[in-house]
Amino acid sequence: QVQLVESGGGLVQAGTSLRLSCAATGRTSMRYAMGWFRQAPGKEREFVAAISASGYTTSYANFVKARFTISRDNGENTVYLQMNSLKPEDTATYYCAAGRQVSVPKEEYEYNYWGQGTQVTVSS
């Protein structure tokens, strides 16, 4: 089992930055691909970014390219999502997920473990 805990969310103004963190505990000796998803009120959860177990490969949703960066520190069992130039439409609950994949999964069903989420609210 792997437990994931997100942090770093908050209320910010448009154009500013936030860095989300996701700390993994439990069976972290096994390397997992990690992903970030988000869900806005009244909308389905959507893929944001993913990083391979090695950290060498990343993938992003088109709507966050060049603004968000996913990274990981395997020594600290933590994955990050640096979010720059935030927009009001980025307002959502952001979820971290871990999957037993060798690459960068983009679908929810490819992930085995999920965190509880952290709220990001961007005001205009």
Residues 53/70, Cβ–Cβ less than 8 Å: no
pLDDT, tens digit only, all 124 positions of the chain: 899 999 999 999 999 999 999 999 887 766 899 999 999 999 999 999 999 999 999 999 999 879 999 999 988 889 999 999 999 999 999 999 999 877 899 999 999 999 999 999 999 9
Q: How far apart are CA 14 and CA 76, in angstroms?
A: 30
The strand ranges marked E within the chain are: 2-7, 10-13, 18-26, 33-39, 46-51, 58-60, 68-73, 78-83, 92-99, 113-114, 118-123
